[in-house]
Amino acid sequence: MKKSFTPNLHVVLTHYPVMNKNGDTIASAITNLDLHDIARAAKTYGVKSFYVVTPLLDQKKLVHKIVTHWATGAGAQYNPMRCEALELIKINDSLDEVRDDIANEGFGYPKTVVTSAKKNSRNIYFNKFRKLLKGDSAYLLIFGTAWGLSEEIIQKADYLLEPIEGKTGYNHLSVRSVVAIILDRLIGR
């Protein structure tokens, strides 16, 4: 039996800065099922934390309300399994704050790895990232919402993970599906 490993991996879903359809930088709105699906996938694959980044106060309140409902409110009684997943969620204003928080929690400052539906000459392959995860460093896997992460975030990242390619050239998966597939490729089996 292979030695099982639980990587020092953290996930963030970014609502700012992201792009809209026209390529402008915007803050996107929270989608309830993003929180549920990504928390459940993160819990399944042993991800250490699931950060939700938005600088908008009303959106932060909304995330807090959803998490509280399922973690300690009526939802926790109705479905305790949902609680176990949603309590992985932390809310922050920016990716810089997330990096600081990971360091403050004792995981060390993370290397950042961005995901994108587009190929890039700097892409690293899944195999390479799987090997990196076997080391001791912390890694922060960054997902975007709306039409994707803004260019400045991509430029600043330590690594750019290769896109998921299916069979057809169609590359418009939901971020919920992308997180599930990437965690399975990195950690599953």
Give the C-alpha separation, 97 to 122, whole Å.
25
Nearest CB to a second copy, comparing residues 56 and 181: 181
Mark residue 169 as left, alpha or beta (left: phi above 0; alpha: psi -120 to 50; beta: remaining). Answer: left
Shortest separation between residue 43's beta carbon and a second copy, angstroms: 5
Helix (H, G, I), strand (E, B) or coil at 158: coil
Question: How far apart, in whole angstroms, are the C-alpha atoms of residue 115 and residue 122?
Answer: 12
Size of the chain in residues = 189
Nearer to a second copy, 9 or 95 (CB): 9
Binding region for a second copy (CB under 8 A): 4, 6, 33, 36-37, 40-41, 43-46, 81-82, 84-85, 164-168, 170-174, 176-181, 183-185, 187-189
Q: CB 51 → a second copy: shortest distance, Å? A: 19
Residue type, 166: G
In Å, how far are 46, 73, 83, 120 from 49, measured between CA atoms? Answer: 9, 21, 14, 27
Instruction: Decide whether 40 or 60 has the Cβ nearer to a second copy.
Output: 40
Smallest distance from a second copy to CB 57, Å: 26
Measured from the CB atom, is 149 or 187 closer to a second copy? 187
Q: How far is the CB of 164 from a second copy (least distance, A)?
A: 7
